[in-house]
Amino acid sequence: MQRICVIGGNRYFGKLLVERLQAAGCQVTVINRGSVPPPAGVGHLVVDRNDEAALTAALDARTFDVVVDQVCYTPVQAAVAARAFAGRTRRYVMTSTIEVYDPATAALPAVPPRTPVSEEVVDPTAWRVAMDLPWHDDAYLEAHYAEGKRQAEAVFAHAGSFAHADSFAFAAVRSAHVLGGGAREFTGRLAHYAELITQGEEITVHAKALPTAFIHYEELASLLSWAAGADFTGPVNACSDGPLDVHDLAGIVAAQAGREAVYRTVPAGEEASPFSFDRHYAMSNARAKALGFSFSRTSDWLPGAVAEALAVSAASTD
């Protein structure tokens, strides 16, 4: 029986991950601040992961086969966790993001236009870490979300690179934009499109909007569960086959709503609706496939996710 610790795991795909690990016979322990209790039969440590002394005390003598970290956003948080779990786990899996590839947030190696970006474009073992930035400031963190994730990966990659008894193997799952789940979808972006289109309001798009990658929340939970039981290290991209641009996405919503999407075009560099991108960073999932994970196509699950979003939108206007 695998002993797995999930940090976070109290909402959306993290909650589903916990349920799936438990159903697979794993002994699961969830660490969070206690706002939402885990399912019956799941261990629960109520502690703030930012408080290193409290986290270390709460862990006590516990050890785990794998830690899956759902809520690490900064190198400071990563350093606290790396020290706290040194000698307590053999494997550490961090949920990361497609945002690490956003060329608007860092000087990244150039890739040919419309070429899916592979993992080596952002190498955590070579990424510079700056602990002295104001990572504890919520406004700074929100504005530097992508960089926080890149540096968090880097801290874990270095923590797991030393050949001594306390080191652990590290993997980062870089998730595409997550959709599905209806009212559970905490970003609300698909519901936002459902509301705009059903109400006939404008969707703001770039003149040459480029495609990006998506993944269903259930598929991401499946991939994280797979990653916990695998032995690969380093980053792996998690996205369904079939990138979409904002017009593709809005068109599917409009078709199911029986309405027409209304667009307003803005130049590159200006703010637009979610998933309208004036720059390219759609991911390649070739490495995950080569390691043995099989992805769905976005077109397989998106109509169902749109139907859920339309139902939520309709309920909110009743």
114-155 pLDDT, tens digit each: 889 999 999 999 999 999 999 999 999 999 999 999 999 999
DSSP the chain: --EEEEES-SSHHHHHHHHHHHHTT-EEEEEE-SSSPPPTT-EEEE--TT-HHHHHHHHTT--EEEEEES---SHHHHHHHHHHHTTTEEEEEEEEEGGGG-TTSS------TTPPBPGGGS-GGG----TTS-TT-HHHHHHTHHHHHHHHHHHHHHHTSS-STT--EEEEEEE-EEE--GGG-TT-HHHHHHHHHHTT-EEEEETT-B-B-EEEHHHHHHHHHHHHH----EEEEE--BS-B-HHHHHHHHHHHHTS--EEEEE-TTS--STT-BSS--PBP-HHHHHHT----BHHHHHHHHHHHHHHHHHHHH-
Question: Once rounded to an integer, what is the mean pLDDT over residues 251-272?
Answer: 93
pLDDT higher than threshold 90 for residue 110:
no
pLDDT higher than threshold 80 for residue 289:
yes
Task: Check residue 312 and give its pLDDT.
Answer: 80
Q: How confident is the model at residue 318 (pLDDT cuts 50, 70, 90)?
A: low
Q: How confident is the model at residue 29 (pLDDT cuts 50, 70, 90)?
A: very high
Q: Please state which of the ranges 72-86, 114-128, 173-187, 233-247 shows the lowest mean pLDDT.
A: 173-187
What's the chain's length in residues?
A: 318
Tell me how far apart the alpha carbons of residues 45 and 55 are, in angstroms, rounded to a whole number. 9
Q: What percent of the chain has pLDDT over 90?
A: 79
Task: Check residue 85 and give its pLDDT.
Answer: 95
198-244 pLDDT, tens digit each: 999 999 999 989 999 999 999 999 999 999 999 999 999 999 999 99
Q: Please state which of the ranges 62-76, 275-289, 303-317 shows the lowest mean pLDDT.
A: 303-317
Task: Check residue 38 and give its pLDDT.
Answer: 84
pLDDT higher than threshold 90 for residue 316:
no
Q: How confident is the model at residue 105 (pLDDT cuts 50, 70, 90)?
A: very high
Question: Once rounded to an integer, what is the mean pLDDT over residues 15-24?
Answer: 92
Question: Once rounded to an integer, what is the mean pLDDT over residues 258-272?
Answer: 92
Task: Check residue 2 and give its pLDDT.
Answer: 93
pLDDT higher than threshold 60 for residue 163:
no
Which domains, from first to last, does the chain contain? 3-177+215-238 (3.40.50.720), 179-214+242-282+296-317 (3.90.25)
